[in-house]
A and B are shown apart, each in its own frame.
Chain A
């Protein structure tokens, strides 16, 4: 009887196990294996077990510069999306009293997602460009004489695009956490003499931690793994960790690209571990 039941259980988890194995375990394993292969010009992959790829990468200052640049973008985007996501959610949950209006406004936030990432990214160019809306507007008002160069193809345009693309990923989990906060808790805090800031700091923020952790995880993985935004919006002036891999791939240097991918994977996993150390998401979710 129990044998039969365990067989049924195994049958039930089999499809997901299979999918995860085929599309997650196998590719990652392949990348890890290839990262130890040798690269030979004109030949490409040569099976081997060498740490040369890692050595090359870690001793190359370009790698460090690219990773630092990626981390810098990640940090900036994390802070900005956190501030935006928190306050947008706060507004929707605690200020909009009408549930229908709140849901309507929430859906409004998702409208940009009806178009592809590429289009949303490209659409910043006519706005921020030398002859773009912002420059023309500022010139006509008379605030500036000549177009601002740093609007487009700069760190500024990269960050603004990231924020535009990823704020919702931060906002949704925070919104979800906040929506579950009993409104009576806020009143109880006010009853105990808390100011508006006191309520936010002592009640709303601690109870939104789960959402913040999940949102941060989304944003970190998205920014760390990005390649297109940096390339398009910086006009090639900035790079990301992923653009190093892209270069290697163009020269069919799969082993070094794979080694780079493993390094990136480890860094992202370290950051994720750090986030979950700070906030026990599983404990918070069952609360």
Chain B
């Protein structure tokens, strides 16, 4: 109620009858988190997080369950009050403000549609709370349902809809508030694979069409990579890395990110020789790794971790080639998995976790290997990416420690 009055007062350039609709259309949807912390008892769910999400970007937060990503989302939404720190949306500090005044709208994981209301009334709920007349709010809600192609079902109850349809209703219900920021809590996790890919495309299309900020929490790497302008990888309540999808995927900053994004092998060695354009690392098991010299700052004797993308690794039988080559490691094939356009080969290497290579199907079938085969894995020196942090174990490994 207050919000309606405020809006009409502070937005004299908009006609009063459309004030509710355009209340949040102006103003920036930039999200800025400053030293944001959240504790539940003794556990710190979110620990001193600083992050700026630019206006109009699609940001995906990704991390294992319990990493604090959903808590951050809920603090931005106003459903959780931070223990300390600040949340800015645009230029406004929003901590302590009710959700409706923040210009955010949230799409819940389980959609949270009101089961006792038709989908039309679900979508119109926000307008009802703003005391918009019944005919008017139903007309606006139908227009919004039309936008998500559900107008023909407007008198159905949520339980009569499929998962994908329910999600569209949830989307319509969020968008009718005309938000600056749309918050999505694992929106695709309840859908089957086909629908997930379809909705993923639609979300992305919608975001570029509306030009508002999307903050999307997910635990699925391909989803984050495909959707996001900005990916934020989280672990234990802190941000491991925030950057473009390409940066996160191709240039992970830490071993955790390299492993968590699922596309990298991490190797650690000490600097053995630093001469000119290449630096040689010696691994614990004695293999020599060559690394482009301009990427290493460490001096001789210091430990350095590197990552190598799975798809830039070649696998050959041990008989071919010779031992002692640089950037070549011997191992035994543990498992192979045909993925259609590539074959995933797990190789057990002494002193390293399981080493994974994604070999193109042509390359694989030209020289097939089966579990138990002795192989040599090798890679080009340019494929080696130097991590900013030395590996401290199998952090982020999908295989666990």
| A residues with CB within 8 A of B | 182, 184-185, 187-195, 198, 202-203, 206-207, 287
Residues of chain A within 8 A of B106, CB atoms compared: 187-188, 191
- Say whether B88 faces chain A, with CB atoms less than 8 Å apart: no
Binds A, one of B112-120, B285-293, B391-399: B112-120
**Given A184-B108, A192-B177, A193-B100, A207 and B129 touching (CB < 8 A)?**
no
**Given A187-B106, A187-B108, A287-B159, A192 and B116 touching (CB < 8 A)?**
no
A184 to B106, CA, bound (A): 11
Residue of A nearest to B177 (CB): A192
Contact across chains for B116 and A207 when beta carbons are under 8 A apart: yes
Residue of A nearest to B129 (CB): A193
Contact across chains for A185 and B77 when beta carbons are under 8 A apart: no
* Given A185-B114, A191-B174, A287-B115, 11 more pairs with CB closer than 8 A: A184-B110, A185-B112, A187-B108, A191-B79, A192-B125, A192-B126, A193-B177, A194-B125, A194-B129, A195-B1, A206-B116
Contact across chains for B115 and A207 when beta carbons are under 8 A apart: yes
Residues of chain A within 8 A of B79, CB atoms compared: 187, 190-191
Residue of B nearest to A185 (CB): B112
Contact across chains for A188 and B112 when beta carbons are under 8 A apart: yes
Contact across chains for B130 and A193 when beta carbons are under 8 A apart: yes
Contact across chains for A191 and B99 when beta carbons are under 8 A apart: yes
Residue of A nearest to B109 (CB): A184
A287 to B105, CA, bound (A): 27
A190 to B113, CA, bound (A): 13
Chain B nearest CB, measured from A167 CB (Å): 26
Chain B nearest CB, measured from A9 CB (Å): 31
Residues of chain A within 8 A of B125, CB atoms compared: 189, 192, 194, 202
Residues of chain A within 8 A of B371, CB atoms compared: none
Residues of chain B within 8 A of A193, CB atoms compared: 3, 98-100, 126, 129-130, 177
A192 to B128, CA, bound (A): 9
- Say whether B309 faces chain A, with CB atoms less than 8 Å apart: no
Residues of chain A within 8 A of B78, CB atoms compared: 191
Contact across chains for A184 and B116 when beta carbons are under 8 A apart: no
Q: Which 8 A-B pairs have the closest CB atoms?
A: A193-B100, A184-B112, A192-B126, A188-B112, A193-B129, A206-B116, A191-B99, A184-B108
Contact across chains for B114 and A203 when beta carbons are under 8 A apart: yes
- Say whether B180 faces chain A, with CB atoms less than 8 Å apart: no
Task: Pick from B77, B112, B128, B173: contact of A182, CB below 8 A.
Answer: B112
Question: Which of A184, A198, A203, A207 counts the most chain B CB atoms within 10 A?
Answer: A184
Contact across chains for A187 and B112 when beta carbons are under 8 A apart: yes
Can you list 5 A-B contacts with CB-CB less than 8 angstroms, sorted by A residue number? A182-B110, A188-B108, A192-B129, A194-B125, A202-B128
Contact across chains for A190 and B98 when beta carbons are under 8 A apart: yes
Chain B nearest CB, measured from A269 CB (Å): 27
Residues of chain B within 8 A of A189, CB atoms compared: 114, 125, 129
Chain A nearest CB, measured from B36 CB (Å): 20
Question: Which of A188, A195, A198, A207 counts the most chain B CB atoms within 10 A?
Answer: A188
A203 to B114, CA, bound (A): 7
Contact across chains for A191 and B77 when beta carbons are under 8 A apart: yes
B residues 91-145 near A (Cβ < 8 Å) are 98-100, 104-106, 108-110, 112-116, 125-126, 128-130
A202 to B124, CA, bound (A): 12
Chain A nearest CB, measured from B372 CB (Å): 50
A189 to B79, CA, bound (A): 11
Residue of A nearest to B101 (CB): A193
A184 to B185, CA, bound (A): 12
Residues of chain B within 8 A of A202, CB atoms compared: 114, 125, 128-129
Chain B nearest CB, measured from A171 CB (Å): 21
Residue of B nearest to A193 (CB): B100
Residues of chain A within 8 A of B77, CB atoms compared: 191
Contact across chains for A188 and B100 when beta carbons are under 8 A apart: no
Residues of chain B within 8 A of A190, CB atoms compared: 79, 98-100
Question: Which of B109, B113, B114, B174 counts the most chain A CB atoms within 10 A?
Answer: B114
Chain B nearest CB, measured from A179 CB (Å): 15
A189 to B128, CA, bound (A): 11
**Given A182-B110, A184-B110, A202-B128, A191 and B105 touching (CB < 8 A)?**
yes
Residues of chain B within 8 A of A203, CB atoms compared: 114
A184 to B177, CA, bound (A): 18
Residue of A nearest to B98 (CB): A190
Residue of B nearest to A189 (CB): B125
Q: Mark B1-27, 1 if CB is under 8 A from A, else 0.
A: 101000000000000000000000000
Residues of chain A within 8 A of B113, CB atoms compared: 188
Residues of chain B within 8 A of A191, CB atoms compared: 77-79, 99-100, 104-106, 174, 177
Question: Which of B108, B125, B128 counts the most chain A CB atoms within 10 A?
Answer: B125
Residues of chain B within 8 A of A184, CB atoms compared: 108-110, 112
Chain B nearest CB, measured from A252 CB (Å): 53
A182 to B111, CA, bound (A): 11
A158 to B116, CA, bound (A): 38
A281 to B129, CA, bound (A): 28
Residues of chain A within 8 A of B104, CB atoms compared: 191
A198 to B177, CA, bound (A): 17
Chain B nearest CB, measured from A138 CB (Å): 42
A195 to B98, CA, bound (A): 10
Residue of A nearest to B173 (CB): A192
A203 to B129, CA, bound (A): 12
Residues of chain A within 8 A of B110, CB atoms compared: 182, 184
Contact across chains for B98 and A188 when beta carbons are under 8 A apart: no
Question: Which of A187, A191, A198, A207 counts the most chain B CB atoms within 10 A?
Answer: A191
